């Protein structure tokens, strides 16, 4: 991969090394090799996985999940494999989001070759390709179970789009369960072999994702984010609006949460107030406006928030 200038290596002592790998991975990760933007590893993310031999249903679910996550401002983590993995990444990228691909070989190698466009777009759009394998490592079978542990570890939530009961996907699920991650699973036909695992996960307590609104709502509750695609709500206002989803805050509280300068934050939020997106309360706190909440209710999401 001709991206030598974008290479990085992170050790547990580095500030950008993911806390999840430092704290939750049973076998210590000595070096995380990557290409792209290491700062994306500090952003909120959801891991989306599924069958490599995905059905049209599984591919559609993966695309929906990737798109909704991106539109909610959540990074999509996946393995970049053919099938559900690449479909979720492609949809997230198409929606203007960021992705992290965890590779089962060296981060400087594209595998499988059918996912080359997704790998390159991941780096180009501010994401990263990462691996615990040294540069140039080949995609050998024993490396992929280790890769699956990293996929499970990097995000607080693992979404399973489609999977057979005996599949590589389930090794990622097992790792996520051991690390006490939240599991989302999409139900499928009881007659479909590729939905046996997801249906079983739901029976065992996984969060069922029954439609797009369901996923949007669960992401909102678990991440405190708002999906800004309803009519009248611009999509580029994610950070401030998402911060106000749980409730009103003072400008300095918003600035601290986002790591921004309070004066710059005030200029931005005053602009949002003039456009009717937020409103200033008598005590000086800011809240989403009634019109913004109404936009969500019209879209069928976040009911009862106002």
Q: Report pLDDT digits (tens) over 264-303.
A: 788 888 888 888 888 888 888 888 777 775 554 444 444 3
Last residue of a domain, one of 173, 196, 222: 222
Residues 216, 247 within the same domain: no
The whole-angstrom separation of Cα 207 and Cα 183 is: 6
Residue 304 scores a pLDDT above 60: no
Last residue of a domain, one of 196, 222, 248: 222
Residues 139, 278 within the same domain: no
CATH number, position 264: 1.10.10.10
Report the percentage of the chain scoring pLDDT > 90. 58
Last residue of a domain, one of 164, 197, 222: 222
pLDDT tens-digit map of 93-122 = 999 999 999 999 999 999 999 999 999 999
Range of the domain at 51: 4-222
Residues 156, 245 within the same domain: no
How many distinct structural domains can be found in the chain?
2
Spell out the SS3 assignment of the chain. Answer: CCCHHHEEEECCCCCCCCHHHHHHCCCCCCCEEEEECHHHHHCCEEEEECCCCCCHHHHHHHHHHHHHHHHCCCEEEECCCCCHHHHHHHHHHHCCCCEEEECCCCCCCCCCHHHHHHHHHHHHCCCEEEECCCCCCCCCCCHHHHHHHHHHHHCCEEEECCCCCCCCHHHHHHHHHHCCCEEEECCCCCCCHHHHHHHHHHHCCCEECCCHHHHHHHHHHHHCCCCCCCCCCCHHHHHHHHHHCCCCECHHHHHHHHCCCHHHHHHHHHHHHHCCCEEECCCCCEEECHHHHHHHHHCCCCCCCC
pLDDT value of position 230: 44
pLDDT tens-digit map of 185-222 = 999 999 889 899 999 999 999 999 998 888 988 998 89
Residues 145, 283 within the same domain: no
C-beta separation of 286 from 269 below 8 A:
yes
Residue 70: closest CA among 52, 56, 49, 88: 88
């Amino acid at each position: 991969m001709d991206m030598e200038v974008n290479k990085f290596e992170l050790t547990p002592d580095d500030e950008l090394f993911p806390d999840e790998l430092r704290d939750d991975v049973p076998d210590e990760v000595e070096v995380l090799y990557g290409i792209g933007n290491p700062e994306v590893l500090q952003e909120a993310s959801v891991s989306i996985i599924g069958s490599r031999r995905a059905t049209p249903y599984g591919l559609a679910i993966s695309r929906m999940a990737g798109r909704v996550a991106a539109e909610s401002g959540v990074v999509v983590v996946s393995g970049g494999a053919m099938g559900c993995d690449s479909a979720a990444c492609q949809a997230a990228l198409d929606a203007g989001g960021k992705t992290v691909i965890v590779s089962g070989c060296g981060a400087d190698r594209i595998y499988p070759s059918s996912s080359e466009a997704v790998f390159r777009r991941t780096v180009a759009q501010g994401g990263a390709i990462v691996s615990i394998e040294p540069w140039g490592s080949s995609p050998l079978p024993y490396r992929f179970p280790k890769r699956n542990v990293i996929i499970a570890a990097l995000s607080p939530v693992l979404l399973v789009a489609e999977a057979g009961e005996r599949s590589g996907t389930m090794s990622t699920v097992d790792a996520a369960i051991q690390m006490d991650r939240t599991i989302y699973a999409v139900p499928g036909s009881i007659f479909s072999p590729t939905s046996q695992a997801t249906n079983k996960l739901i029976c065992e307590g996984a969060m069922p994702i029954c439609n797009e609104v369901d996923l949007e709502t669960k992401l909102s509750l678990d991440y405190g984010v708002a999906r800004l695609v309803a009519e009248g709500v611009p999509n580029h206002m994610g950070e401030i609006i998402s911060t106000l989803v749980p409730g009103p805050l003072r400008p300095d509280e918003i600035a601290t949460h986002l790591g921004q300068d309070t004066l710059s934050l005030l200029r931005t939020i005053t602009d949002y107030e003039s456009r009717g997106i937020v409103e200033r309360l008598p005590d000086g706190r800011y809240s989403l406006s009634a019109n913004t909440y109404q936009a969500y209710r019209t879209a069928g999401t976040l009911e009862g928030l106002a």
